[in-house]
Amino acid sequence: MIKSPLQIARENYSPKLPSSLKGAVKIVEGKKTESVADQAEIEKLFPNTYGMPLLTFEKGEATSKEAVNVGVILSGGQAPGGHNVISGIFDGIKKLNPNSKLYGFLGGPGGLVDNEYIELTADIVDHYRNTGGFDIIGSGRTKLEETDQFDQGLENCKKLGITALVIIGGDDSNTNACVLAEYYAQKNAGVQVIGCPKTIDGDLKNEMIETSFGFDTACKVYSELIGNIQRDANSAKKYWHFIKLMGRSASHIGLECALQTQPNMCIISEEVEAKQLTLDDVVTSIADVVAKRAAKGDNFGTVLIPEGLVEFIPAMKKLIAELNEYLAHNEEAVNALEGNKEKRDLVAENLSAESQEVFNSLPNNIANQLMADRDPHGNVQVSLIETEKMLIDMVKVKLKKMKKAGEFQGKFAGQPHFFGYEGRCAAPSNFDADYCYSLGFTASVLIGEGKTGYMASVRNTTGSADEWIAGGVPVTMMMNMERRHGKMKPVIQKALVELDGAPFKFFASVRDEWAMKSEYVYPGPIQYFGPSEVCDITTKTLALEQGK
């Protein structure tokens, strides 16, 4: 394998651990938990794993542990640091007993069902330490939802002597992990299930999960690119750059990148929904800033746009909900039609009058994108909707009207961008390298203590790694009931940007100033070597949330 000098140097980096994980560990049980909502329904569905206590780790006395065979699964989209979670699990179970073994199921959850795996030995794991990507075993989006899958997975685990599974994924993957843990506990199958919080979107978080891994690195990668574009804009002084950023269900990435780069505008989807703004309201707000900057001779700027914006505009959200519901039951009938116009006409006929009006008012290409194949959860694939191009076109039309009315005297040329895959497999920042290794090590402790239905938790992450607090949180604590594929199902509640939270409130207090200035912040590339205040910094979001 050919490696760059940076790869070689990163391979030798030793991730930092919380002090509680450096020696023998003692588990301290906290208060019993309940789900964030729909307590009666969740408890009924998860009688064996509901109400378990919060767990924290402290230094303990050394005890001998039996060797364990553990299976690990990478699920869903890639996020920087996944390899370090696996490294942490590997080192952790070897610390429990040198004869412990780690098996990686290939290609995501499907590997568990199809019994496709490799044993992860030191020779393999050592080459992936502190690297980006999920290529050590691959990932996939197979959903573990059916009892046939659970039973087949259990049979495959028994063949390998596996007594614990670690599922590394986002909210949906960890929801599946919770269902699997409950099923195996109900059957007394002898297989534990532990989750690890992964998603660059940042929407898997709560009081016990301060941040999902990969968010820090991805935002730093995107912020570097945004900074480069802003420097170009400030040099050429002739383009407005509309930059769509990953994050279909929440605007955490957009907000964090705004805090790091200080763009002229950043749309926060949650605010759009809270204020019941229309698409025209959003377009008007952008056009007004363009006009004000043009009045002072600045015909350039940057606008950050969350990937899932269209789902937060109330009328669009209602339309998409109706589309999801209709297509969940009639997708084959729609796809059987040859032309897009025929498909649009059939769909429009089955919408409410309000949604039909919105649907018919959309440009044909946007309407077609809204009808595209759903994701595995039955939702529209918002990454396929070219919101950034739609907004450029609509702002251009709005500015023409403003120019006729004498409200705009300037030029407008838009450049669209979408940053998504660029950040998912980046080499993890020092923070993510340390955090992910600690999560994996935490998972190994939970396994060693016989726990199941828990998610690894590492808190106090704005402090030094030595001061981080490791432990476990019951996955049922995070769950509520939501409609999926036309049915109510238990899922982990997504964490949205809190409009009364410190990060958004700070942003709101300075955005008018940022709108008019051109003294952007240029973060530059991720730094791995050098002073801690440069290399080990956490996100602006975490710092503001914790008053740092």
Residue 419, CB half-sphere, CA atoms under 13 Å: how many? 28
| H/E segment holding residue 42 | helix 39-45
What value does the CA radius of gyration of the chain take, rounded to a whole number of Å?
24
Tokens matching residue 217: 């690195």
Q: Is 201 among the residues known to form the active site?
A: yes
- Label residue 71 exposed, middle or buried (CB < 10 Å: 0-12, 13-18, 19+): buried
Instruction: Please give the DSSP secondary-structure letter assigned to residue 276.
Output: T
Give the contacts of 191 (CB within 8 A, at least 6 positions apart): 154, 157, 162, 163, 164, 165, 184
Q: In 386-513, which ranges are E strands?
A: 414-419, 454-459, 469-474, 479-484, 487-492
DSSP assignment of 105-143:
ETTTHHHHHHT-EEE--HHHHTTTTT--SSTTT--B---
Q: Which of 171, 172, 201, 536 is catalytic?
A: 201
Tokens 């339309």 locate to 319
DSSP assignment of 387-403:
HHHHHHHHHHHHHHHHH
Number of CB atoms found within 10 A of residue 390's CB = 22
Rounded Cα distance between 389 and 417, Å, is 9
Alpha helices in 196-339 (DSSP H): 215-236, 252-261, 269-274, 279-295, 314-335
The catalytic residue positions are 201
